[in-house]
Amino acid sequence: MRAPLTILSLVCAATLPLAGQQTSVTGVRPLSFGTVFPGVASVVSRTDPANSGQFDLKGHPGGTASLTFLLPAVMTGPAGATLPLVFGGSDGGFSASQSINNQVAFDPRTPYLATFVANRASVFLGGTADPSAGQRAGNYTGTVTLTVVFF
Amino acid sequence: MYTATKVTIIALALLTAGAVAAQAQNNASINVSAAVQQPIVVLAGNNLTFGPVFPGVPKAITLASVGAGRFDVTGQASAPVSMTFVVPANLTFGANNLPIASWVGSWNGVNDPAGSGFTPSAGATAATFSGTGSLFVFVGATVTPSVSQVAGAYVGTVQMTVTY
């Protein structure tokens, strides 16, 4: 009877650290194109400290996480007008140090497997707004969602 | 043995629970936004008109002349723009050409040719919308008919493109 109890104790000790650690993703900064002129494409770099989108992640040091964006094709504006959005192959950035100046570029259109160094990291997002020459004036908005699966 | 088996099952269940807990999914959203300014609209306000022209006598239309061409432009208040022109080298009447040159231009936030001067045929020109989003562009030129110029109604087209 003593031996099985010992095994049970060891199993619990092995599983508790993983179950006890908290993981999270938080939207920190919106992706903002600011003032845009009809017919003039507006580009926001993922390294733009004021206008790039930013998510902060909390994970496990040495752990990995799958990052999957849900990216809108357009922003919606006055009277249902739409403003096309374009995301390129290097518009996503992962920083294991949470530094906007130290990112690894990735394609936000496809899932990306990131590795944590510490327990916090950041994801940055740039993009291009491409208004037509006759784009209706007004404020346009959309939503970007990041889903993170921590392993 | 029975007790050991039961404990093993419990241990496996705990391991499975631990594995599930170690794979957590989270998501969050941010907004994307843009403030689109007024689009540019260009209208032909007034044709560049030389009226009667006599063979061998050049005729100039100044910016202040009634015959000066004018484009009426609207857009985003106070925004800078770039203007480019396509101007003809000749007015035509059938197969006959009437040379046109010495292009002059001016732009202003109000309907007054006494604005900022520029040369329409010289490439891109910077201008700025008024505080109410207006821009008036005036165009003049000189035609030089030959002494044997064929009589007729000569026409041509001046094209202006305005971009932010």
CB-closest option in A1, A36, A149 to B34: A36
A79 phi and psi, to 5 degrees?
Answer: 55, 30
pLDDT band, residue B25 (cuts 50/70/90): confident
Task: Find, in chain A, the residue whose alpha carbon is nearest to that of B7.
Answer: A4
Question: A147 — phi, psi (to 5°)?
Answer: -105, 130
Domain boundaries along the sequence of chain A: 21-150
Closest by alpha carbon to A44, among A56, A32, A54, A35?
A32
CA neighbor of A4 nearest in space, from B89, B3, B14, B154:
B3
Q: What is the per-residue pLDDT for A53? A: 98
Residue B31 near chain A (CB below 8 Å):
yes
Across all residues in chain B, what is the average pLDDT? 90
Q: Identify the DSSP state of A134.
A: T
Express each pLDDT in B89-127 by its tens digit.
999 999 999 999 999 999 999 999 999 999 999 999 999
Beta-bridged to residue B50, according to DSSP, are none
Q: What is the pLDDT of residue A118?
A: 96
B67-96 residues touching A, CB cutoff 8 A: 76, 79
**Is B5 part of the contact surface with chain A (CB cutoff 8 Å)?**
no
% of chain A residues with pLDDT over 90:
85
B23: confidence class by pLDDT, cuts 50, 70, 90: confident
Contact state of A83 with B22 under an 8 Å Cβ cutoff: no
The overall average pLDDT reported for chain A is: 89
Pairwise CA distance, residues A60 & A21, whole Å: 7
Indicate the residue of A32, A33, A149 with minimum beta-carbon distance to B25.
Answer: A149
CA distance B43 to B3: 92
**Contact B8/A at CB under 8 A:** yes
* pLDDT tens-digit readout, A82-118: 999 999 999 999 999 999 999 999 999 999 999 999 9
Residues of B in contact with A19 (CB under 8 A): 17-18, 21-22
pLDDT at A21: 61
Which domains are present in chain B?
A: 41-163 (2.60.40.1090)
pLDDT band at A73 (very low <50, low <70, confident <90, very high): very high
Interface contact flag, B26 A148, Cβ < 8 Å: yes
**Segments in chain A forming alpha helices (H):** 2-20
d(CA A13, CA B125): 75
Q: Over the stretch B44-99, which tens digit does the pLDDT of each residue have?
A: 999 999 999 999 999 999 999 999 999 999 999 999 999 999 999 999 999 999 99
Q: What is the 3-state secondary structure (H, E, C) of B86-125?
A: ECCCEEEECCEEEEEEEEEEEEECCCCCCCEEECHHHCCE
Instruction: Compute the average pLDDT of residues A121-141.
Output: 97
In B, minimum Cα distance to A141 occurs at B33
Return the half-sphere exposure (C-beta side, CA atoms, 13 A cut-off) of residue B158: 28
Domain A21-150 has CATH 2.60.40: yes
Structure confidence at residue B22 as a pLDDT band (50, 70, 90): low
Distance of CA B37 to CAs A18, A36, B69, B77, Å?
Answer: 51, 6, 28, 9
Specify whether the CB–CB gap between A23 and A58 falls below 8 A: yes
Closest CA to A24 of A119, A125, A93: A119
End-to-end CA distance of chain A: 35
Residue A25: burial class (beta carbons within 10 Å; 0-12, 13-18, 19+): buried
* ipTM computed for the complex: 0.86
